[in-house]
Each structure stands twice: as C-alpha cells, then as structure tokens.
Amino acid sequence: MTETLQRPKVDRIRSPRHLLADVAARATDYLANVPSRGVGPTQSAVDALSALDEPLPEGATPGPEIIRLLDELGSPATVASTSGRYFGFVTGGSLPASLAANWLVGAWDQNCFLSVQSPIAAALEAVVLRWLLEIFGLPASCGAGFVTGATMANFTCLAAARGALLRRAGWNVEERGLFGAPELKVIVGGEAHVSVLKALAMLGLGRSRVSVVPADDQGRMRPDCLPELDDRSIICLQGGNVNTGAFDPAAEICSHAREANAWAHVDGAFGMWAAAAPGRSHLFRPFVEADSWATDCHKWLNVPYDSGLAFVREGTYLSDAMTISAGYLQTGATREPGRFTPEASRRARGVEIWAALKFLGRSGLAEMIEKHCRLAKRFADELNLAGYEVLNDVVLNQVLVSFGDDDLNQRVITAIQQDGTCWCGGTQWHGRSAMRVSVSCWATTEDDVDRSIKAMIRIAKQQVNACGPNRDGARTSSA
C-alpha cells in the first residue's frame, strides 16, 4: 500500500523528464539570446566563474540545481561562437538540426566502437561515408575514421601512410615499431598547420625531422622548390591555409608523388568543403589524386564539437594501422566503426554529420559554402575601401586585414573583442600581425557582416585616434 503511494514520487525523482525539459528550455533561451548579447563574454561574467571553484562536494546536488548553476554562471561566460557575428578561428556554429540530433544521441548514450553496440550509429556512419565520398569526389575504395577533429584526422591518416610505406618496404611498423625500420622522408610546406607537425611528433616521425618546402606569399608550397620524392616519402599538402585559405598546387604535387610511389596526404580541415560548392570545387579537385585526407565537420559543416574525418584511399591501410582484436570484441559482417579510428569507445558523432547533411542537402551545403566565400569577399572589399590593408587573396572564406602597425592591430583586435558586436582573432602572417576574419557559421547574414564591418571601422578609427598625437586620451570619445 505505502509502496504504491510512494511510487509516483520515486519516479519523479528518477525521471529525467523535468530535468531534460528544463535544460531544453534553457538551451533554447540561450540560443534565442545570442543575437542580442555581446559575442564575447563580459569580464564580470568571467569573474563570476570563481563561484564554481569550490571543494569537491561531500554530498549530492539535485539535477535541476546543477543545470541552474551551469546556465546562470556558465551561459554568460561562453564566447557566443554560434553567433552569426563570430568570425574567430574557422569554427562555424552548430546547425540547429545537428544540435538537436546531438541531444538525442546524448540520450541514446551509444558507444559506437562496434556495430553490435549501436546498429544505428554504425548504419549512419556507413551512409554518411557514402555521401561524403560523393561530395568530395573521392573513390569508393576509401576507408574513413570518424575522429575528434583534424588534428586526430591528420594523425590517423599519417599513421596509415607510415604503415603503408613501411609495409611496402617489407617492414610491419604496427608489430615492430620504428626502431630499426627503413627511414621515411616527410615533406611539409612552410605554412603547414601545426597539427600536422604534432601528428608527426606523435607518430615518431619527428616535428623537425622534415623537409620544408618554402611557401609563397599566400602560404602555398612553391612547386619549383619541391624535393625529390621516392617510395619512402610522405608529402603533406594543405587544402585551405588557416590564415589565407590558399590551396597548395596539388595537381603538380600529386602527380609528382604518384610517379614516385610516394604518399600524398592532404590537410583539408576546412578547405576540403570547397568541393561541395560548384563555384569553388575547382580549388579542391586536384587534391582528389592524393592518398589520404583529413578534414573537420565541426568547422565548415557546422556540426557540434568534436567531429573530424580521416579518409584513406586504400581503406585497408587505415584498418591495418587502427584495428585491434580481442576475444570479447564481437564483430559482424558490416563496416565496424572501430576498425578505422585511434579511439575504441567513442560517441556517435556520425549521427550529427548525417543530420547536418540531411538538413542542408547537396544544394543547401553548396549555398552555405558559397555564401561564406561571398561574405568574406565583402569583408575584404569594404575594409579595403575604408583604407585598411587586406593581406591575402580572398579565394575562400578567410580574410587577413591589417589596420596599421603591430601595436595598433593588437589594440584594435582587443577592442573589437571587448566591444562585442563581433568577434575576430589575431595572427602573424609573414612577419606582420593581422586580424583574421573567418566566415564559417550558417547563421551569418549580410546584415551581420555589414554591422561587423561598421563596428570594425569605428573601433579602428577610435584606436588610431587614441594613439595619435594627443595620447592623453582627450580625443578618445571624438570618434
């Protein structure tokens, strides 16, 4: 009798319904508030985080209280990177359909190492893989791993490259390691992304033990400076320089590599998505002749973190490098997700990629990429017109702008971040400081861009005045 009476109460405590409805409402409010808040957090919001710095709690805290704390303290202390006026790094915001898929996947709590653990995750990885190979124009022989990001994708691809070249030389690196192995030569461009060097370091191939091909003013490898390649060479190309968006001369490099039986690897973290837009696909097309490709989905495809992909032309080289086996690991006849990644247990990030592609469709993806490239050009043209120097050829979604000397650039970037209208980061480009504008969020509109350009120009003028002849600050309010 008492038991029956108590059951509803127990159920209410155990049922996540209220908690999840509450968090959905709070998350929805957060997103609704993004357009009207500053893109960066206020200093007081960041300072308030100290309230979380408490000793390990002795007892339990109710779920709703945890979410309340997170929302009240955490939400204001985010950088609103889902904003249409966030132009930092190259990181788009999550498409709502993909975010919603992420929530459901979270509820599923699937481990997608083996298909027997999650038929849905394995099935959608296979579907997504087929779709992506079509988008990128890659061969059906490709194997692919769903990893955390382009850093791990570079690592995964280069592990396959290392294994393949050494296996051809009669050495099984997965079994025997690198000590005593035939030497491999690794070639990178002068503007290779640091994650490629990190991947080489983790693979025992060495960060500094590389031949560096000098880069031109856009960061592209100079084809006249290519070294001799042979069947023990891995050459790392870049499709989309993180600063300029420039693409290495892939046609020359890939045919050179092909003739020499070398391995050509592509870091296409965001640039690879140029393939999806008819007006930009020519930039990526020559790269399809390579042997492996690393890209991100959490950048230009606008899915939640973390999500990257490693593609290898001959899928067996990838599975040779990544497969593990043990008696209790039951595998089926279908594609086993865990045979292609460094991780064993992992979340079902393929579902969010599926949701994004299903939501956009081929045409929606093409339009999004085109729009971002067009808006990047608008930034460049307007800032140039206002008298500021654009340091790169704007071929994709990246703009490098300089407002003056290094000190001024730094102050303008800081002031833009504090102003909150938009958010941009800084960089060093060929010995000069610059501000980076990366247009890669689905939410960005022409109006967002125009408001941001106005803010940039207003702030740049203020900063020029602030450090002009009257440095006493008397003129700081005149602009």
Ligand X SMILES: *Cc1c(COP(=O)(O)O)cnc(C)c1O
What is the closest distance, in whole angstroms, from the C-beta atom of residue 274 to ligand X in the complex? 13
What is the closest distance, in whole angstroms, from the C-beta atom of residue 125 to ligand X in the complex? 18
Whether 199 and 210 have beta carbons less than 8 Å apart is answered as: no
Q: Which of 241, 264, 349 is nearest to 301 (CA)?
A: 349
What is the closest distance, in whole angstroms, from the C-beta atom of residue 436 to ligand X in the complex? 11
Torsion angle defined by CA atoms of residues 367, 370, 371 and 377, in that order, rounded to the nearest 10 degrees: -170
What is the closest distance, in whole angstroms, from the C-beta atom of residue 376 to ligand X in the complex? 15
Structure tokens at 49: 């985080």
Q: Which of 235, 256, 221 is nearest to 161 (CA)?
A: 235
Q: Which of 434, 405, 375, 307 is nearest to 85 (CA)?
A: 375
Supply φ then ψ for residue 398, to 5 degrees: -110, 135
Determine the distance from the C-alpha atom of residue 431 to the mean position of all C-alpha atoms in its chain, rounded to a whole number. Answer: 25
Please identify, using beta-carbon distances, which residue of 122 and 264 lies nearer to ligand X: 264
Please identify, using beta-carbon distances, which residue of 242 and 253 lies nearer to ligand X: 242
Q: Which of 195, 161, 197 is nearest to 308 (CA)?
A: 195
Q: Which of 300, 242, 274 is nearest to 93 (CA)?
A: 300
Q: DSSP per residue over 329-361, as a string?
A: ----SS--GGGSSS-SS---HHHHHHHHHHHHH
Q: How many residues does the chain have?
A: 479
Angle subtended by helix axes 96-108 and 349-385, to nearest 10? 150
Supply φ then ψ for residue 84, to 5 degrees: -70, -10
Please identify, using beta-carbon distances, which residue of 300 and 403 lies nearer to ligand X: 300
Please identify, using beta-carbon distances, which residue of 23 and 210 lies nearer to ligand X: 210
Please identify, using beta-carbon distances, which residue of 67 and 237 lies nearer to ligand X: 237
Please identify, using beta-carbon distances, which residue of 75 and 398 lies nearer to ligand X: 398
What is the closest distance, in whole angstroms, from the C-beta atom of residue 305 to ligand X in the complex? 8
| Residues at the site binding ligand X, with contacts judged by CB under 6 A | 90, 149-151, 193, 195, 240, 242, 267, 269-270, 296, 308
What is the closest distance, in whole angstroms, from the C-beta atom of residue 213 to ligand X in the complex? 16
What is the closest distance, in whole angstroms, from the C-beta atom of residue 353 to ligand X in the complex? 14
What is the closest distance, in whole angstroms, from the C-beta atom of residue 193 to ligand X in the complex? 3
d(CA 334, CA 233): 33
Please identify, using beta-carbon distances, which residue of 147 and 460 lies nearer to ligand X: 147
Please identify, using beta-carbon distances, which residue of 114 and 376 lies nearer to ligand X: 376
